[in-house]
Amino acid sequence: MNENLIYVDGREVKIENEKNLLEIIRKANIEVPTFCYHSDLSVYGACRLCMVDVEGRGLSPSCSTPPEAGMKIKTNTGEIREIRKTIVELLLANHESNCPSCPKSTACQLQSLSKKLGVGEIKFKKLETKQPVDRSTESIVRDPNKCVLCGDCVRVCSEVQGVGVIDFAHRGSKVSVLPSFGKNLNDVECVLCGQCVRVCPTGALSVKSQINEVFKALNDKNKKVVAQIAPAVRVALGEMFGYEPGSVVTGQIVGALKHMGFNKVFDTSFTADLTVIEEANEFLTRFNKNENLPLITSCCPGWVKYAEQYYPQILPHLSSCKSPQQMFGSLAKDFLAKLYNVEPKDLVVVSIMPCTAKKFEAEREEFKHNGIAEVDHVISTYELAQMIEESGLNFKKIQPESFDMPFGFKTGAGIIFGNSGGVTEAVLRYVDEKLTNKKSDAYEYKIVRSGNGIKEFCAEINGIKINMAVVNGLANAKKAVESVKKGEKNYHFIEIMACPGGCIGGGGQPAPKEAGANAMRTQGLYDNDKMLQLHKPQQNPYIEELYKNHLGTPGSEKPHKLLHTKYHSRRRITEEGLSLINSKNARKIEVSVCVGTSCYIRGAQDLLHRLIKYIEDKEMTSIVEVKASFCFENCSKGPTVNVGGKIINRCDFETACKEIDLQAGKISDGSAA
């Protein structure tokens, strides 16, 4: 017997470091259905759709069963087909079936599986009443009526992003996936990155659409409507129309937008070039003065919101540069409005972005002036595909068109912004010539390019060493920031993007239909960079002209007014509150969890550990002390918890956290000092 072979439906398949049977089976070109399996997330095994028959063992979940030599597996027996069909019928029985109007229609895995498995009727009755739809944020819509409890959103939020604002609640038939304490997404610390939307197999989590608002602006004869297209959109939109991931479809996108009625179409890569020049000069100024280092990039609104919520003390380290989206909006309302002789309020700026957090960014008060937003509407890549279809356009037959000038010209530095490491590489392309005072034909810094995680390196330019890090995924961002806080790392420059792989893996992008799609998108941007004649932002003649005739020198007064900003703390406990808490007269909240025998068997030990972790994650250890205790003499009413003198019987995790937050809030505003 060959030690590296297993048998899938009678065919030999070689074991090559696959971690489970599902990967082996898919390598054999057999598509076993799943809801809850993602190769970059932990194995959950909730949906049971991937069950296979292993000889000698019976039915086994292929996602959590490791391959062993000699295994004989059947993937499509009558029993397995019946099980899968029944599972889908049960899901459909408790699933709101307004498929034609669902935002995930045609891209819904439940819909696709129903068709593939031949589900013609549902034999089970619905059990639950309709729940309210959460539309509280600018970015994401959460519809619990369409949730299939796969847990994908829970795991990506916790494992990849390290935020954990959504989790399972309740038990048995009442189990559901909810934000903390059943609140709306806007009332918890969601960073609106949209990774939950990206992995959700149904319409339970979707991008909040602004399509109607955009069409309304296009139909208004009193408005001049311009579009900007982010770099990552051009290598992903094609997937919605049958192209391979990474295919560059820029010309067709521009053609489609002009057909819809957009007056001008520009490239966000132009202001990405501009961002590099402003940010690189800001970095060099800080580096020479040794002030507020490391400089941390601020292009990603999901990361900025995360920093405001969890690490407000590092906000002075963030670059003051606006993101390319907002730089474009600011210049459009100032420069383009004058160029086209229209009032800023009548120039409608529509951003086409791979990111759901960009919708939130456009609504920030920092980016509104006299009630006029720099960017009026933001639509995702997915929404753009919907607009093209709604307009009746055959995307593959659209004649390519070119961007409009002056904001349609870019260099390769602006293009690679869509990849993790792209901002850092673009900055190096500028800084290298600035520090050496020499022009160079070399432009690629492949050491910067990385996969998921944290990439560290030292760039040595003209004898000057610059310690840099490229980070993607907010769980990794936390690791990087903590290492700096503890003095374990000494970076000068850190690039952080919230989404794995950077913008190419944004929450507003089409869900990949094949493994390796993100890598193909990444390569598509690097290939696009190579095809351009210019690769460095300082080579962009329209940027040079903009500074000469409109802005002045980089970092001067006008660029600072138009292109820079400040961010603020979003912590629930204000800095003033922390000062009060840390004063000698401040009261500290004591939380005692009874771990006596009666409370112990009711889960007190687990409750204690969860509360300790909660306090640590919320960085409240300076005002809250959690400890074990014996005994509150309420043995029949356990678990019993004392929060700041308030005894809570039959206490659960959510109730304890709610009371802790309540008392901490009172200390913060001074009412309990």
pLDDT tops 90 at residue 496: yes
Distance of alpha carbon 448 from alpha carbon 446, whole angstroms: 5
Residues facing residue 113 across a β-bridge: none
Look up 366 and say whether it is catalytic.
yes
**In this structure, how many other beta carbons lie within 10 angstroms of the beta carbon of residue 174?**
8
Answer for the pair 468, 457: CB distance below 8 angstroms, yes or no.
Answer: yes
Specify the length of the chain in residues.
Answer: 673
Reduced to 3 states (helix: H, G, I; strand: E, B; else coil), residue 346 is helix
- Please report which confidence band the pLDDT of residue 613 belongs to, taking 50, 70 and 90 as the band edges: confident
> Which residues, at least 6 apart from 97, have a Cβ–Cβ distance to it below 8 Å?
none
The mean pLDDT of 367-389, rounded to a whole number, is 93
Gap between the Cα atoms of 61 and 21, Å rounded: 8
Task: Pick the catalytic residue from 114, 139, 319, 380.
Answer: 319
The answer to whether residue 196 is catalytic is no
DSSP secondary structure string for all residues of 281-325: HHHHHHHHHT-SPSEE----HHHHHHHHHH-GGGGGGB--BPPHH
Question: CA 609 to CA 601: how far, in whole Å?
Answer: 15
Name the active-site residue from 36, 150, 299, 594.
299
**Phi and psi based region of residue 607 (left: phi greater than 0; alpha: psi -120 to 50; beta: remaining):** alpha
Residue 176, pLDDT score: 86
pLDDT digits (tens, 9 = 90+) for 80-113: 888 888 888 878 877 777 777 777 777 777 777 7
Q: What is the pLDDT of residue 128?
A: 63
Q: Are 642 and 591 in contact (CB under 8 A)?
A: yes
Both tokens assigned to 144 = 């619990």
Q: Is 361 annotated as catalytic?
A: yes
**Is 279 an active-site residue?**
yes
Least confident piece of the model among 124-138, 152-166, 328-342 = 124-138
Q: Using omega within 30 degrees of 0 as the cis cutoff, is the peptide bond preceding 294 cis?
A: yes
Tens-place pLDDT, residues 388-425 = 999 999 999 999 999 999 999 999 999 999 999 999 99
| Residue 627 to residues 41, 442, 621, Cα–Cα distance (Å) | 33, 60, 12
Please measure the distance between the N-terminal and C-terminal CA atoms of the chain and give it in whole angstroms: 75
Query: Of 79, 366, 557, 654, which is the active-site residue?
Result: 366
Annotated catalytic residue, options 96, 361, 383, 425: 361
Which residue out of 358, 359, 410, 536 is catalytically annotated? 358
* Third-level CATH fold of 575-668: Glutaredoxin (3.40.30)
Each residue's pLDDT tens digit, 242-299: 999 999 999 999 999 999 999 999 999 999 999 999 999 999 999 999 989 999 999 9
Q: And the tokens for 210?
A: 């602004």
**Sign of the CA dihedral with 244 first, then 246, 251, and 254 last:** positive
Q: How many alpha carbons lie under 13 Å from residue 7 in its C-beta half-sphere? A: 9
Confidence at residue 414, expressed as pLDDT on a 0 to 100 scale: 93
- Whether 18 is catalytic is no
Sequence-distant (6+) residues with CB within 8 A of 141 are 103, 133, 134, 135, 205, 206, 207, 208
Amino acid at 398: I
Sheet with 646-648, strands from edge to edge, namely: 624-629, 589-594, 641-643, 646-648
319 is catalytic: yes
Task: Please state, rounded to an integer, the average pLDDT across all residues of the chain.
Answer: 87
Q: Can you give the residue ranges of every domain in the chain? A: 5-76, 87-207, 211-262+269-395+411-554, 575-668
Do the beta carbons of residue 250 and residue 526 sit within 8 Å? no
**Is 503 in the active site?**
yes
458 catalytically annotated: no
pLDDT-above-90 percentage for the chain: 48
The contacts of residue 574 (CB under 8 Å, 6+ apart) are 668
Q: Whole-prediction pTM value? A: 0.79
Considering the chain, what percentage of its residues have pLDDT values greater than 70? 94
Q: Say which CATH architecture domain 211-262+269-395+411-554 belongs to.
A: 3-Layer(aba) Sandwich (3.40)
pLDDT, tens only, 12-71: 888 888 888 888 888 888 888 887 777 677 777 777 888 888 988 889 888 888 888 888
Q: Which residue has the higher pLDDT, 526 or 584?
A: 526
Question: Rg (Cα) of the chain, in Å, rounded?
Answer: 27
Tell me whether the CATH fold assigned to 87-207 matches the one assigned to 575-668.
no
If 0-12 CB within 10 Å is exposed, 13-18 middle and 19+ buried, where does residue 372 land? Answer: middle
Confirm if 420 and 454 have CB atoms less than 8 A apart. no
5-76 under CATH 3.10.20.740, yes or no: yes
Q: What is the pLDDT of residues 551-601, one digit of tens each?
A: 888 878 888 899 999 888 887 654 444 444 444 455 688 899 888 877 888
Provide the 8-state DSSP code for 622. Answer: T
Bridge partners (DSSP) of residue 465 are 460
Q: How far is CA 622 from CA 577, 578, 582, 643, 656, in A?
A: 12, 9, 7, 15, 18
Active-site residue, from 279, 374, 383, 425: 279
Per-residue pLDDT, averaged over 168-180, amounts to 84
User: Which residue among the candidates 96, 239, 278, 282 is catalytic per the annotation?
Assistant: 282
Is residue 146 scored above 90 in pLDDT? no
Q: What is the pLDDT of residue 632?
A: 64
Give the mean model confidence (pLDDT) for residues 116-127: 73
Q: Distance between CA atoms of 187 and 278, rounded to whole angstroms?
A: 34
* The pLDDT of residue 12: 86
Q: What are the Cα distances from residue 204, in Å, to 103, 279, 514?
A: 9, 39, 22
Tokens of 564: 């820079």
Hey, what CATH class is 87-207 in? alpha beta
Q: Please tell me the chain's helix, strand, coil percentages from 3-state DSSP, rounded to the nearest 5.
A: 45, 15, 40
503, 594, 599, 657: the active-site residue = 503
